[in-house]
Structure formats: C-alpha cells, structure tokens
Structure 1
Amino acid sequence: MAFRHLNELPLGDKVFRIELSSEDDREVVVNFTGWREGHAAEPIASGRLRLPVEDVPSLRIAFNRALRALAIVADVSEPIPDRDVLRELYPGHGAPWVPVHEEELLRRFHDNETVARIAARFGRTPDSVRTKLRELGHDPRRPEYCPPDGCLSWSRYASPTLLGAAGEPGGAAPGA
C-alpha cells in the first residue's frame, strides 16, 4: 500500500519538513529539509534515507539516541518524552542509585561537567541527575559548593533519628 506523510514544523525563524513515503509495503523513504523562513531556496539542512519497513523501529531508536546525543553536545534542553521513549532513551531511568554511581556523579559534577553530559553517562534524565545532586546536598547550579559535612557524608546515609542520637539509651555515635 502506497502512502505519503508530510510533517512541517516551524520552529522560530526556521522550518523543518520531514516527509515519509512508500510505493509499496517493503520500503520507506524519509526526506528531511530545513530552511530559514522566507528562504526556502537556501536549505540549512537536507537528507534522504531509504530503508526496509521492518527496520523503521530500529531506526526510530537510533534517531532518538543520536538526537539526544546531539542535544547534549549542543547543550540544549529537551522536553520530557513519554514513559516508553524514556525507557529507550534512558536505560538507567528508574534504577536505584548505588554509592559507586553517586561518587562518580559528584566527581563529574565537581569537574564542571554539564548535567546533560552526566545524565547521558548514567542513562538518566537531566532532571533525575539534578534531583540526586539535591539529595546529596548540592546545588545543581553551583558545582563549587559542598555540604558542610562533606560530599557523601555519613549523615546522608543514616539519619540520627534512625540511629538514635549519641548519648541516648540505645543510640550510639557513628563508628562507636
């Protein structure tokens, strides 16, 4: 069955057009063009891709990952996609943080690596990295700041209420 689908997206002063077409059920052609508003004769982006229909799902995943990597390199934010796409794009999404990863997160953060790059390294969303940094007592906007009791301090792992304050019956100071 032949089909043609055209999607034209005006974004700011640019327009991007993605056209999908097929003459049969075996092959899909993807044409991509971009231009500045009013200057359609001078493309800023163009490309053509021909692939078997059964490879479309794999191509979608590949494009999502490539565009995500491009967004990280360009250091631009991206909207939060739906849950299924999140699982494809962020393999670590929803997984618990382990102490080794927390240490690596803080090392990279203090080395002034961007939150987007750190998120890509751990396969998580930038928001989950910011949340973990706050849980560890850091301000995601200030890599130079460390909590008063230090990075990955004991108080972060065990609350005094859980252990009992030092000097209380049944409570002991950490390390005692």
Structure 2
Amino acid sequence: MAFRHINELPLGDKVFRIELASDDDITVTLTLTGWREALPEVPLASGSLTMPLAEVPTLRIAFNRALRALALAADVAEPIPDRDILRELFPGHGAPWIPQHEEDLTQRFHAGETIARIAARFGRTPDSVRTKLRELGHDPRRPEYCPPDGCLSWSRYVSPALVGAPEEHTAAE
C-alpha cells in the first residue's frame, strides 16, 4: 500500500514542509523544504532522504537528539517537550539512580568522558547527569576535583566524623 503524507508547519514568517512518501511499503522518502512567506522562491532548507521504512522510529529519535543538540549549541530557545517525548529521547528520564549507576557515573566522569556521552550512556539529559554529579559531591565543571580520600571512598550519606576520621590536633596539645 503506497502512501504520501504532507505536513506544512508555519513558524513565524517561515514555513516548513515535510513530506513522507512510499510506493512499496519497504522504503520511505522524507523530503524537507523551508522558505520565508515573503520570499517563497528562496529556500531556507531543502533535502531528501530515502531509507527503509522499519528505520523510521530510530531515525526519529536520532533527528530529535541531533536537532536538540544543535539548538543548545546555537543557544536557540526551544519549546519544552512533554514527558512522553523526554522519555523517548532519554529512556532513563525520571527513573531513580541506583548505586551501581552512581558509581559507574563517577568513574566515567573522572575517566574524562564528556557529560553528553555519559548522558547518552544512561539515557538521561545532560542536566540530570550534572545534577547527580553535584549530589554525589562532584563539580561537573571541574572533573579534576576529588574529595580528599577519593571520589568513591565516601558514601554521600556518611560524614567523615561518623566513620572515625582523624581529628585535627590543636597546637595547645
């Protein structure tokens, strides 16, 4: 069964047209065009992509992630996606952190992995990774920072005084 779906999205003074078409139900062709309403003959965007129909869901996630990363890099405001989209883009979004993941997170962080790569590994947003690192006592801006006895030596629930850390002696002693 062949199909053709066209969606035109007016965004301010711009219009984007996305067309999906298939003649054989095995492949799909995605065509994107964009223009300003005042100058329809001057394209803002144009391109075409043909791929197996079965890969559309994966490509959708990849496009969402890439466009979101581009918007962040270009410091462009974007609408806040709803929870379902966040769960699709970041499968771990909203899930509790477990101790094994916390340990793996800090090891990867101090091994020099980027926040973006760590976030992708755990299916979370970069902001949630930064927040968790702060909760664990690490500074996401300074991976070289480490608590005195090592990052993984202290639980976030235990203070040095509780486990018998040596007290500093005063000069009067």
Q: Deviations over 1:41-67 (max 9, x none)?
A: 677651155998xx8xx8356412344
Q: Distance in 1 between matches of 2:71 and 2:65?
A: 10
Q: Distance in 1 between matches of 2:68 and 2:59?
A: 14
| Corresponding position of 1:102 | 102
| Corresponding position of 2:140 | 140
Q: Deviations over 1:122-145 (max 9, x none)?
A: 001111100001011111111111
Asked whether 1:64 is paired with 2:65, we answer no
Cα RMSD for the two superposed structures: 4.3
| Corresponding position of 1:31 | 31
What are the residue-to-residue correspondences of 1:48-87 with 2, within 5 Å? Answer: 48=49, 59=56, 62-68=59-65, 76=73, 80-87=80-87
Segments of structure 1 that go 5 or more residues without pairing to the other structure are 167-171
Report the residue type matching 1:47 in the other structure: S
Q: How many residues align?
A: 156
| Corresponding position of 1:151 | 151
TM-score by length of 1: 0.61
TM-score by length of 2: 0.62
Segments of structure 2 that go 5 or more residues without pairing to the other structure are 166-173
- Fraction of identical pairs, as percent: 54
Q: Distance in 2 between matches of 1:3 and 1:107?
A: 47
Contact 1:109–1:115 at 8 Å: present in 2 too?
A: yes
Structure 1 residue 113, shift from structure 2 partner: 2.0
| Corresponding position of 2:114 | 114
Report the residue type matching 1:17 in the other structure: F
